[in-house]
Structure 1
Amino acid sequence: MKTKSTLLVMVALVGFFTNAQNQEKCSEDLQLFAQYSKSKEFNEAYKYLQPLRSNCPKINKAIYLYGEYVLLNKIDNAATPEEKVAFVNDLNVLYTEHDLNYPDNNKGNTLKKGMNLFDNNVGSKDEVYNLLDTAFKTDNANFTSAKALYTYFELFVNQYENGTKGIELQQVFDKYDEITEKLELEEKGLSDDLDILLNKIENNEELSDKENRIKEKNEYNLEQFSTVKGSMDSKIVMLSTCDKLIPFYQKSFEEKKTDVLWLKRAAERLEIKECDSDPLFTKISEQLHRLNPTAESAYLLGVAAQRAGNTSKALEYFNQSAELFTDGTKKAKVYYKIATMFGKSNKSQARSYAKKALSAKPSFGQSYMLIAQLYASSANECGSSPFDKRAVYWLCAQYANKAAAVDPALKATANRQAASYNASAPSKTDIFNENKGGQRVSFNCWIGESITVPSL
């Protein structure tokens, strides 16, 4: 009996020391693995990656965070197509292991698996779509890649067009709406952060290096999201012409007339596609407002009233909508809509509403562009001499430059417009002949602003 007990103790001690040795080896391997990964010596790091995954998968999450970069490097530098496929598949296994050993890691690994296959043309389109679909439905918060959102939509539309999955047109519209709502949610987060920084700049506060990096990153990502929305619109444009949408929604109205979400999306799509002159749009908008009066439904009724030529009623609904909206972006869009309504009839009112849009959303560059256009259209009305009249274009260029500075999606267009305005302004020769360099030119018309003439 004593011998048996002694033997058990010895076995336990051997196991203890073996585990201790293994743990020590794992710690050493992890340290070297991290060191090589940080210094981008990925081939050396790879020698330690596989043993760490096999022998001590839970020792540290660095295995998976650094391991991703190691395997991405292996994919980029694979010697043969077969070797590349093997590394692509192994990276997806690593993503799975990460989720298994560190659940709730918030790294979007299901999304990464789908895009890994797609970017490297490995596996079938169905495999890619299924992974992206799972990620979108179960890990939406981490589905933030502009490219992935477009890929997800494109693959779904392709399935509809192929006619092999039994997908109906309504499902395509629903998917478009879901992804668009996600894009707008991501844009809102980025632009809200950007607005804070733009307000600091407006108040002559200097941004820190970190804030400048955030500003540049947000501007880049906003530009990417804008491109994706444009590409999605191009993809769906042939499926959503008025001659297709109106009978499609007319057929479904009786069945869906108590479905608030269906009514909202149908009205918004008809408005976006400029099908809002059809009585069906008014019918849907009124039903939506009856069931669920909101800022959105008030806006849609405003559109219907505007289309019917009832400007005063349209303004009443639009102002009501803007006041009800708490989201700065949506509020700005409504104020901008009102500004465009006043564009020709009352330029001062148009500018007033454009500035309201900017108060609600400082990065709403379209308002700066509109003000520039309003000023340009008044060039002949403002100024006591030909020189002063053309000097208005310098002011226009300033507003276009502001649009480029605050709104990444408008940057290229705004820069082109600013260049055009500057080209219409007085030349250096004109400044010399008029002896106006460095002087202030005031515009005492409705504009009520002034500009400093460039010094020669």
Structure 2
Amino acid sequence: MKTKLTLLFAITFSFFAQAQQECLEKLSLMGTSYKANDIESAYQYLQELRKDCPTVHKGLYSYGERILMKKIIDANGNAEQVKAFAQDLNKLYDENAANFPETGKAGLDMKKGLTLFNYNVGTQEETFNYFDTAFKNDLANFDSTRALYAYFEMIVNNHNAGKSGFELQDVFDKYDDISEKLDEVGKADAEALDALISKTEAGQELTGNEEKYKAKYERNIEDIANVKTSMDAIIVELSTCEKLIPFYRKSFEANKSNELWLKRASDRLNAKGCDSDPLFSEISMALFKLNPSADAAYKLGVVEYQRGNTSKALEYFNQAAGLYQDGAMKAKVYLGIATMYQKSNKSQARSYAEKALQARPSYGKARLFLAGLYGSNINDAGGDNFQRRAMYWLAAQEAEKASAIDPSVRAKANSLASKYRAAAPSKTEIFNHPDGNMSGKQVCFGSWISRCVTVPKL
């Protein structure tokens, strides 16, 4: 009997090993067909694997997702086929979650909602419910900027339609929640991009993979910036000062001890330019008393600046910058201080803009600030007309750096760089300079500028 059981086990094990090997071979053939753009063959392998080998490897589902998405594209607008493949795609997501729960469940509802949204199948309510469930129960994996934007747009539409549960406060809360999630999604990319930019600025070349990652980070950051801009455009009519001030005034007393409410209310009033109203001062003071954090110190800095107490405002702003651990927020505060010094102390303005770039090397707005600071103050360069206008090259360089490091300001930066280069000395002026041909030579500027620029080579 023992011998028979051993033989049966050996036969069974051999059978399963052979079946597993066949599944792996078929999986390899599916991947090869997909890479060769033989989608029909890849699709046939996919269907066979789903039926006979659903647990062969999680790659079955990552490839399967791409294959079904390609089938939807190839349906070329045929509504019935698009719907059928979209439904099958969501079925594939469920199969992945069932067979590989440790990875397949991550982002499941978000993906299913995106399928309905992207391919216009299912109802608006079904799509919203998937997004809403994902946001409430699986926020860590809700990382699609397209899904986040679609979710917010649906919330605003429900509010505008007067649906229960979508009051103005609900819209504002969700706007803040989604904005925070977008910041979280973008933070890792921004930090990774900063590291690569710091490497290039140190004179080191990026590897081929690093160049690819740099382009990926830039695309992601640009996507997030576009989504934020679109969200702001949607909510702008709901959040004018005329509406916000009475809205928050009504709820202020009940929320004096609610730190999250105070922070979000002050953020919105500040963002919409309502920070000159006494309500902003009251909210900011309440927030600081509750928790003298970086955010609270920053808000009090805004209050003091509005009151004309510049020295006190700078004290709070510097306190906030010192307390912030997040490089992006620290950079934002430093650039705000630079702007305050822009007319009164250009050396300090430049210094704080440079601090902003130290905190966040990919902060294009700080580079644009420096470009404007140099381009608007050429008379401070001293010397003759050639030297003064040579400052435009310095300004153009800063604008070009902004374009290179920050895709969210690229269009503006490129336009500004072109404008400055056009205003700089011409080739004729370079060649006919009284001191001889200036091509490739350095021009240095004193005063607060303390910078040099190389004249373009002819």
TM-score, scaled to structure 1: 0.93
Match in the other structure for 2:184: 185
The DSSP-based 3-state class of the residue aligned with 1:188 is: helix
CA distance 1:31–1:316, shift in 2 (3 Å): closer
Partner-residue secondary structure (3-state), 1:442:
strand
The superposition leaves residues 393-448 of structure 1 with CA deviations (integer Å, 9 ceiling, x where unpaired) of 11111111111111111111111101111111111122223234223222222212
1:190 Cα offset (Å): 0.8
Counterparts of 1:67-106 in structure 2, within 5 Å, are 67-78=64-75, 80-105=78-103
RMSD: 2.4
Q: Select 2:50's aligned residue among 35, 53, 56.
A: 53
Residue 13 of structure 1: how far off its partner (Å):
11
- How big is the shift at 1:10? 12
Deviation at 1:372, TM superposition (A): 1.6
Q: What corresponds to 1:33 in structure 2?
A: 30
1:178-226: CA deviation from partner (whole Å, max 9, x where unpaired): 0100111122111100111111101111111111111111011111111
Check the 8 A contact 1:95/1:110 in 2, yes or no: no
Cα pair distance change 1:432/1:244, threshold 3 Å? same
Q: Which residue of 2 aligns with 1:64?
A: 61
Distance 2:331 2:200 in 1: 20
Question: What does residue 216 of structure 2 align with?
Answer: 217
- CA drift of 1:355 comes to 1.0
Residue 371 of structure 1 is matched in structure 2 by 370
**C-alpha deviations, 1:213-248, integer Å up to 9, x for none?**
111110111111111111100000000000000000
The one-letter amino acid of 2:395's match is C
Q: Secondary structure at the match of 1:205?
A: coil
Q: Please give the alpha-carbon distance, in whole angstroms, between the structure 1 residues aligned to 2:60 and 2:258.
A: 49
1:280-324 Cα offsets, whole Å, 9 max, x none, are 000000001101110110000000110111111101100111111
Structure 1 residues 13 and 367, CA, compared in 2 at 3 Å: closer, same or farther? closer
The Cα shift of 1:28 comes to 4.9
Distance 1:27 1:436, change over 3 A: closer
Cα contact 1:436–1:453 (8 A) shared by 2: no
Does structure 2 retain, via aligned residues, the 8 Å contact 1:339–1:353?
yes
Aligned to 1:174: 173
Question: Which whole-Å CA distance do the structure 1 matches of 2:121 and 2:337 have between them?
Answer: 50
Provide closer, same or farther for how the CA distance between residues 433 and 22 of structure 1 changes in structure 2, counting only shifts above 3 A.
closer
Please say if 1:446 is aligned against 2:420. Answer: no
SS in 2 for 1:104: helix
Q: In the alignment, is residue 307 of structure 1 matched against residue 306 of structure 2?
A: yes
> How many positions carry a matched residue from both structures?
453
**CA shift at 1:63, angstroms?**
2.1
The corresponding residue for 1:327 is 326
Report the Cα offset of residue 142 of structure 1.
Answer: 2.4
**Structure 2: segments with no counterpart, 5+ residues:** none
- The range that moved more, 141-150 or 105-114, is 105-114
Per-residue deviation, residues 127-151 of structure 1 (Å, max 9, x unmatched): 1111112222222232222212111
SS of 1:304's partner is helix
Structure 2 CA distance for aligned equivalents of residues 244 and 131 of structure 1 = 31
Q: Deviations over 1:13-49 (max 9, x none)?
A: 9988986776565455434334323433221122232
- Of residues 8-17 and 405-414 in structure 1, the stretch that sits farther from structure 2 once superposed is 8-17
Q: Which amino acid aligns with 2:176?
A: D
Q: What is the TM-score when the length of structure 2 is the normalising length?
A: 0.93
Instruction: Calculate percent identity across the aligned residue pairs.
Output: 52
What SS is found at the alignment partner of 2:102? Answer: coil
For structure 1, the 5+ residue unaligned runs are 3-7
Tell me which moved more, 47-56 or 128-137.
47-56
Higher mean displacement: 21-30 or 212-221: 21-30
Alignment of structure 1 residues 111-260 onto 2, 5 Å = 111-260=110-259
Between 193-202 and 157-166, the greater mean CA deviation after superposition: 157-166
Aligned pairs for 1:393-408 within 5 A: 393-408=392-407
Work out the CA distance in 2 between the residues paired with 1:196 and 1:14.
56
Distance 1:14 1:211 in 2: 50
Question: Which amino acid is 2:357 matched to?
Answer: L
Q: CA deviation at 1:9?
A: 12
Structure 2: how far apart are the matches of 1:101 and 1:200?
A: 43
Q: Where do residues 387-426 of structure 1 align in structure 2 (5 Å cutoff)?
A: 387-426=386-425
Relative distance call for 1:49 and 1:200 in structure 2 (3 A) is same
